[in-house]
Amino acid sequence: MDADAHDWNRTLREQCEFHWNHQLRARLESLTDDEYFWSPVPDAWTVRPRDGSTSPVRHGAGDFTVDYTFPEPVPAAFTTIAWRLAHVIVGVLATRNAAHFGAPEVSYETWEYARDAATALNQLRTQLDIWLAGVAGLGDAALRVPVGEKEPYPEAPMADLVLHINRELIHHLSEVCLLRDLYAHTTSATNGATR
């Protein structure tokens, strides 16, 4: 293989696209509101109505906010599917889409968090589509350009950021799938009896 002739941009995108198309998309499509908000432990961080939050820090511009505190507790707070999707949508994708691909500026503080699973999945698909289109538009040469001051490691090439985002998506969305499995195996049996 001639590494100089290889389409590295396609390879990086395919890592994310394969995981999304063959492992995640079908697993997430039927996400219910009960699963979205379910917590297997007390006091988990989640997305909740603004007037229902007891979190010391509540981020969000709309009727729903995401729990947070700083410094983060040790051990880290357990987080629901709603919280994990909010993190992926805003912190992993939307802020990077704004920083690198001309999408509107966003932050945890200004985001309108989803009040239900369907809205969260729509937000996820939208931000993922923007990200993948932006990466596709880079071409191989732009993957070597430093990401700049909008990222914690400004001298790192864009390819490093793409790999980091791939890891974040695979990691957190796999956690969401695991929480769905846990929900299915702890909330009810196939005969409708509670376990």
pLDDT tens profile 66-80:
999 888 889 999 999
pLDDT tens profile 145-186:
999 999 999 999 999 999 999 999 999 999 999 999 999 999
Instruction: Give the global pTM.
Output: 0.91
- Strands in 47-49's sheet, in edge-to-edge order, are 47-49, 64-68, 57-59
Angle between helical axes of 158-187 and 8-19 (0-180°, round to 10): 10
Q: How far is the C-alpha of 158 from the C-alpha of 176, rounded, in Å?
A: 27
Encoded tokens for 3: 């590494």
